[in-house]
Copies of this chain bind each other. A is one copy, B any other.
Amino acid sequence: MAGDVRVGDLDETALLARVVPLLPTEALLGPGDDAALVAAPDGRVVATTDVLVEFRDFRRDWSTGADVGWKAVAQNVADVAAMGGRCTGLLIGLALPTDLEVAWVEDFARGTAAACARFGAVVVGGDLSAAGEVVVSVTALGDLQGRAPVLRSGARPGDVVAVAGTLGRSAAGLDLLLRGAPGPGADETLVEALVSAHRRPQPPVQAGPAAARAGASALMDVSDGLVRDAGRIAAASAVTVELTTSGVLGEWVRELGAEHVLTGGEDHALLGCFPPEAVLPAPFAVVGAVAPAGPHGVLVDGRPWTGTTGWDHFLR
């Protein structure tokens, strides 16, 4: 049976022959030579890389291969969007245990392809290696369409702070998976939506270029939690980011809890700062304002946040 074939039963060429046809690979030159060739229309290329490791970034009993493929694409296209760019190509490195089912790898490729279709990306290259645990490395390339990149360092006092996408849903979904089962009386539709947000994040990639066109002064991908990532804009821009829970942030906090919304990463929302005169592009919603630098980089309703501060790979 196909499901019983393991990675170690095939050579690299045979494994590639199973996986590559499942992927969208349009490029000036796609997989198959020593390197790919990708268009960089404005003479510059945005480039970002992420490594996802089994047991740390995903668990194979909680996420299918397709979920992992989706997530790997989603978090990298989000980083390109966070510069104000659109993704022009992905390179995917896979290190695989030899006893891993080939069906898992094919499923990974299908999830990658589904995310590529959703986010407008293609796979231009990659590499396969053996390892003791599944390690996925993705590099995303992007195009700024002639615009300046939107950095973390451009926020100015008086700017509006806004979020596109969701916050806390992935963390709430992970929490449900960690607890094993939702409590009695849980809203099943909500449970399913939260778990799905964890398995298949939906970064609002169109909002990145839209923010750049609208004149965003600073932009970043919320991958480590709102407070922590807002702190990075605050530090890079030498300002204070004042978050307020009177608006949409408060709605989310009431639905999901402050901890999830303020410290949960991996929804891959975009956090932007806009000059007061800018017209906020959809789907950005106001969550605060930028103030001059003070003793705290981030304030929540005027006070420093005293809960946990989000995800770190090494401190757990």
Q: How many copies does the complex hold?
A: 2
Chain B nearest CB, measured from A231 CB (Å): 11
A93 contacts chain B at the CB level, 8 A cutoff: yes
Contact with B along A65-80 (1 / 0, CB 8 A): 0000000000000011
A216 contacts chain B at the CB level, 8 A cutoff: no
Given contacts A133-B131, A149-B33, whether A8 and B139 have CB atoms under 8 Å apart is no
* Of the residues B34, B57, B149, contact of A29 by C-beta under 8 Å: B149
A41 contacts chain B at the CB level, 8 A cutoff: yes
A303 contacts chain B at the CB level, 8 A cutoff: no
Q: Are A48 and B91 in contact (CB under 8 A)?
A: yes
Chain B nearest CB, measured from A11 CB (Å): 5
A45 contacts chain B at the CB level, 8 A cutoff: yes
Q: Are A79 and B35 in contact (CB under 8 A)?
A: yes
| A45–B29 alpha-carbon span in the complex (Å) | 10
| A126–B222 alpha-carbon span in the complex (Å) | 17
Residues of chain B lying within 8 A (CB to CB) of residue A258: none
Total residues of chain A contacting the partner, CB 8 A? 74
| A133–B130 alpha-carbon span in the complex (Å) | 12
A165 contacts chain B at the CB level, 8 A cutoff: no
| A32–B127 alpha-carbon span in the complex (Å) | 26
Q: Are B47 and A93 in contact (CB under 8 A)?
A: no
A103 contacts chain B at the CB level, 8 A cutoff: no
A243 contacts chain B at the CB level, 8 A cutoff: no
Q: Are B130 and A53 in contact (CB under 8 A)?
A: yes
Q: Are A137 and B47 in contact (CB under 8 A)?
A: no
Residues of chain B lying within 8 A (CB to CB) of residue A145: none
Residues of chain B lying within 8 A (CB to CB) of residue A82: 34-35
| A48–B153 alpha-carbon span in the complex (Å) | 30
A220 contacts chain B at the CB level, 8 A cutoff: yes
A116 contacts chain B at the CB level, 8 A cutoff: no
A152 contacts chain B at the CB level, 8 A cutoff: yes
The A259-306 residues at the B interface (CB cut-off 8 A) are none
Apart from A48-B91, A49-B125, A49-B127: 14 A-B pairs, beta carbons within 8 A: A10-B314, A15-B314, A28-B44, A33-B236, A34-B83, A35-B83, A35-B149, A37-B47, A47-B125, A51-B93, A56-B130, A56-B131, A57-B129, A129-B313
Q: What are 27 A-B interface contacts by the 8 Å CB criterion? A: A8-B314, A8-B315, A28-B44, A29-B149, A29-B151, A33-B149, A33-B220, A34-B48, A34-B82, A34-B152, A34-B220, A35-B149, A37-B83, A39-B44, A40-B43, A40-B44, A45-B141, A48-B91, A48-B125, A50-B127, A51-B93, A93-B93, A95-B135, A130-B314, A132-B133, A133-B133, A141-B141
**Sorted from nearest, which 5 A-B pairs have the closest CB atoms?**
A40-B40, A137-B137, A35-B48, A34-B82, A51-B93
